[in-house]
């Protein structure tokens, strides 16, 4: 029996280890550790010893025999689009600076209210021209012409845009209208509803307001007797008369296609009454079906109620604003604030009082009376104590 400690036993384990090493070399190559790699490129590196490889996009080399392809799959959730900042659009009624109203700065006491909205719009119901420009163009009882300096007051008050589609824009003819357009442009106001050509008159105003695209349409429903034959003999204003309704509809559609939110301001209805005329209701419903978000009416010179057709909010009449003849109930007025957000559109009403054309904050009793007047003739909506419009089952007097 041989002993493990004898001459033969001393080599049994070394020989076995050598044989295993030869088998490993044959199978895996020369086992040179990473620390022994030389700078001349002779060292080979095992995949197991590569430290923190950087991810690579899939690439293929066409210049040699080797190619590399790897794909990185991101598991991070997609970033949601950022929410658009809410904005406020403001609208007020009929404004004229006749009878020396411009000399009394009718906006001085409400500049904070008018400058707060991101876009503030009024109905400019007057020609703006020098006394020697133009001629009496229409046989009517009341003719309105305001001095160009009045528009500086409009800008200083924080008003951004004016609607020119109404029954007094052409009181002194196309020559006075041309100066009106020049003066509006001079002070940097946006305008809609009138132009030197019909094409310009029926062009909607498209504005970027904050993160939103706003479309503003200005149309007049009065007077329409001269267009009964279908001929547009006064092409400088955008009319919503029956014979020209297709042109008016196209203006609304163009705005809807271009903007996130569309507001139509239309001049028409019966003066001095609290309920909307049937033909005005038909126009509101018509443009609601075309996609308008808000419709604001003017011309009756009194505040009427609010309602909605589908998702379209409607102000039947914004009443007077800076208007020299405002007295009694026609002096009850308001700024209508349309609040736009990702959640939808809300309406808030800020009552004001127009004493002889000068816009003032109302007393507590006047504030309540104005809100009660609007609520009494509104349908489906009521103003709460803060002036916000909320849905109700109230049908209203109209």
The residue extents of the domains of the chain are 87-391
Q: How far apart are CA 143 and CA 119, in angstroms?
A: 29
How high is the pLDDT of residue 232?
83
Q: Is the pLDDT at 3 greater than 90, yes or no?
A: no
Percentage of the chain beyond pLDDT 70 is 80
Q: Is the pLDDT at 165 greater than 80, yes or no?
A: yes
How high is the pLDDT of residue 140?
87
Q: Is the pLDDT at 229 greater than 90, yes or no?
A: no
**245-258 vs 278-289: helix crossing angle, rounded to 10:** 40
* pLDDT tens digits for range 53-102: 333 333 333 333 334 444 555 566 778 888 999 999 999 999 999 999 99
Identify whether the C-beta of residue 312 lies closer than 8 Å to the C-beta of residue 319. Answer: no
- Sign of the CA dihedral 274, 280, 286, 288? negative
Q: How far apart are CA 95 and CA 77, in angstroms?
A: 53
pLDDT tier at 394 (50, 70, 90 boundaries)? confident
* pLDDT tens digits for range 15-29: 334 333 333 333 434
Identify whether the C-beta of residue 307 lies closer than 8 Å to the C-beta of residue 379. Answer: yes
294-298 and 332-341 strand pairing: unpaired
* pLDDT tens digits for range 337-348: 999 999 999 999
What is the token pair recorded at 270? 């019966």
What's the predicted TM-score (pTM) here? 0.80
Q: Is the pLDDT at 358 greater than 60, yes or no?
A: yes
* pLDDT tens digits for range 321-333: 999 999 999 999 9
Give 3-state DSSP helix, strand, coil % of the chain, rounded to 5: 30, 25, 45
How high is the pLDDT of residue 211?
97
Q: Is the pLDDT at 302 greater than 90, yes or no?
A: yes
Q: Is the pLDDT at 139 greater than 50, yes or no?
A: yes
Q: How far apart are CA 146 and CA 129, in angstroms?
A: 6
Task: Name residues whose C-beta falls within 8 Å of residue 69's C-beta, 6 or more positions apart in sequence.
Answer: 58, 59, 60
Mean pLDDT of the chain, nearest integer: 85
Q: Which residues are registered as beta bridge partners of 194?
A: 237
How high is the pLDDT of residue 342?
97
How high is the pLDDT of residue 137?
85
Q: How far apart are CA 378 and CA 316, in angstroms?
A: 9
Task: Name residues whose C-beta falls within 8 Å of residue 4's C-beta, 6 or more positions apart in sequence.
Answer: none
Task: Tell me yes or no: is domain 87-391 CATH 3.60.21.10.
Answer: yes
Give the CA angle between residues 371, 377, 383 to the nearest 5°. 35
190-192 and 161-163 strand pairing: parallel
């Amino acid at each position: 029996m041989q002993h493990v400690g004898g001459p033969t036993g001393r080599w049994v384990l070394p020989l076995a280890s050598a044989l295993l090493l030869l088998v490993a070399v044959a199978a895996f190559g020369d086992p040179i550790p990473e620390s022994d790699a030389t700078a001349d490129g002779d060292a080979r590196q095992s995949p197991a010893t590569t430290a923190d490889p950087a991810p690579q996009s899939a690439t293929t080399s066409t210049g040699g025999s080797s190619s590399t392809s790897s794909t990185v799959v991101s598991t991070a959730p997609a970033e949601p689009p950022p929410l658009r900042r809410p904005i406020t659009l403001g609208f007020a009624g009929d404004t004229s600076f006749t009878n020396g109203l411009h000399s009394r700065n009718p906006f001085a006491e409400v500049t904070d209210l008018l400058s707060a909205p991101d876009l503030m719009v009024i109905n400019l119901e007057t020609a703006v021209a020098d006394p020697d420009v133009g001629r009496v163009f229409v046989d009517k009882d009341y003719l309105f012409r305001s001095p160009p300096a009045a528009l500086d007051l409009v800008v200083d008050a924080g008003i951004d845009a004016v609607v020119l589609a109404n029954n007094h824009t052409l009181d002194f003819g196309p020559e006075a209208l041309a100066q009106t357009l020049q003066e509006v442009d001079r002070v940097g106001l946006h305008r809609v509803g009138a132009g030197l050509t019909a094409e310009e008159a029926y062009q909607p105003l498209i504005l970027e307001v904050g993160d939103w695209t706003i479309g503003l349409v200005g149309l007049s429903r009065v007077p329409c007797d001269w267009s009964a034959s279908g001929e547009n003999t006064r092409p400088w204003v955008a009319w919503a008369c029956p014979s020209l309704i297709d042109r008016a509809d196209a203006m609304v559609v163009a705005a809807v296609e271009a903007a996130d939110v569309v507001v139509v301001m239309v001049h028409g209805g019966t003066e001095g009454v609290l309920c909307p005329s049937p033909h005005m209701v038909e126009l509101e419903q018509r443009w609601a079906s075309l996609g308008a978000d808000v419709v604001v009416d003017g011309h009756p010179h009194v505040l009427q109620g609010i309602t909605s057709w589908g998702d379209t909010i409607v102000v039947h009449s914004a009443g007077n604003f800076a208007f020299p003849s405002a007295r009694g109930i026609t002096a009850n007025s308001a700024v209508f604030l349309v609040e736009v957000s990702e959640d939808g559109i809300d309406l808030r009403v800020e009552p004001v009082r127009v004493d002889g054309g000068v816009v003032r904050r109302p007393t507590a009793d006047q504030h309540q009376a104005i809100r009660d007047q609007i609520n009494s003739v509104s349908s489906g909506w009521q103003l709460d104590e803060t002036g916000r419009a909320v849905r109700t089952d109230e049908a209203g007097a109209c």
